[in-house]
Each structure stands twice: as structure tokens, then as C-alpha cells.
Amino acid sequence: MKIVSSFMRKKGKHVRRRKVVSKPLPSGNHLRVIFDSGRIRRRVQELARQINRDYAGKTVHVVGILGNCFLFMADLVRLLRPTVVCHFVKAEMHDQPSGDSSVREIVFTPRVDVADKDILLVEGIVQTGVTLDHLVQMMLAQKARSVRTALLIEKTDERKVDVPTDYVGFKTTSKFLVGYGLGYQEKYRNLPSVAALAN
């Protein structure tokens, strides 16, 4: 079965991180720390300084892409000095039969009014870049004044789309990352560090 991408818009939907004390990782799990909590804290502070300079005197609409972003975004926005308005969207994939092929839709809910606004998209991890690129292009088409991206982690070996990455915490090729908001089967999101989950 051939899989193709098709992006559409549906009614009501869009289609087409303070001091952190490190805690030991849970025993019995095959986890290896990649970025510890102290390193993450320092990097988030560095990103916040860059964002504060770039958005000085502006209102920034921070749009978090659920669910990997939530700890990163919470720590980041508390360090921002411009006026901040927070929004959240969730991306869902739907494969719809279309003859002998399947059409994949990317659906974003809820709708965010971005017209004439400066948008900062916040994502926990970017791999292929397809979903993030679609959201960027969609917001630009809806007349956002500007759209920039802030990523905790960029997986450099899995990129399929050349999506802009304006503020990047870390770049890595490590597989199966969990912690600091990143989850596997909805587990490990509460860990203070980012770790690699072994098979």
C-alpha cells in the first residue's frame, strides 16, 4: 500500500524550564543519562536569553506542541521577559483510505488565532521535521507576523524536511530518548534528566 501525504483543513481543526535537583533514575530500567538536569537548566537559560533579545518590546505567543514540550515550555516561559501568551496544540495522524493508497492527514487541535502575531513554537523533540514544518507553513499561511521554533532536542539523523530551527537546546543521534517531558508509552516524562532507553 502506497502512503502519501495530504494536508487539509477541517472545521475547528488544522490539517495539512529555577533550580532543579537531580534525582536518581528508577532502578530496574535500562536508562543512560544523556543530558543531566544541570546541563538542561543551563541550556534553557541560554535559550531564554536569546529569545529575550529577539522579542524585546514584543508580545510573544508561545505555542507548545503536546505532549513532549510541557516541562521544557514550563521552564522556558518562566525565564522570558517579554509579554507572553501561552497556547497548546496537539498533533494527530490519521490515515484515510483513498483508492489503492492511503492519505495521511496531520490534524492540529485546538485552533489558535495567529494572524498578525509573533509565534514561538515550542517542541520537546524533532525527528523527521514533517509535523513541525507543516505547522510552521500553516501558521505563515494564516498570516502570522513571524514564526520561530524552540526545540529541546533535534534528532539530526532522522530529518526528512528542512524545517527552520531557531533555538535548539541539544542535537543528538541517540535513540529512544525519555525524560524531562519526553515519554515512551507515556512513561518516564517526570524524570529530571534526558536519558536513552535501551532495547
State the pLDDT confidence band at 62, using cuts at 50, 70 and 90.
Answer: very high
Q: pTM of the entire structure?
A: 0.80
8 has pLDDT over 50: no
Q: Does residue 21 form part of some domain?
A: no
pLDDT, residue 156, reads 86
Q: Does residue 140 form part of some domain?
A: yes
Q: What is the CATH number of the domain that holds 124?
A: 3.40.50.2020
4 has pLDDT over 50: no
Q: Does residue 2 form part of some domain?
A: no
d(CA 72, CA 191): 12
**More reliable by pLDDT, 104 or 1:** 104
User: Taking the C-alpha atoms of 82, 85, 86 and 91 in order, what is their torsion angle to the nearest 10 degrees?
Assistant: -110
Task: Tell me the CA distances in angstroms from 109 to 90, 115, 124, one per residue in order.
Answer: 5, 17, 18
Q: Does residue 142 form part of some domain?
A: yes
Q: Does residue 190 form part of some domain?
A: yes
Q: Does residue 81 form part of some domain?
A: yes
d(CA 175, CA 170): 14
**pLDDT, tens digit (0-9, with 9 covering 90-100), for 64-123:** 998 899 999 999 999 999 999 999 998 876 666 666 655 556 677 778 999 999 999 999
What's the rounded mean pLDDT across residues 8-23?
46
Instruction: Name the domain count of the chain.
Output: 1
128 has pLDDT over 50: yes
Q: Does residue 84 form part of some domain?
A: yes
Give me the sheet containing 146-155, strands edge to edge. Answer: 2-5, 101-109, 83-98, 59-66, 118-126, 146-155, 167-172
Q: What cell does 123 get?
A: 517542541
Domain coverage including residue 53: 30-88+115-197
Q: Does residue 52 form part of some domain?
A: yes
Would you say 65 and 91 are in contact if contact means Cβ atoms under 8 Å apart?
yes
Report cis status (omega within 30 of 0) of the bond before 57: no
50 has pLDDT over 60: yes
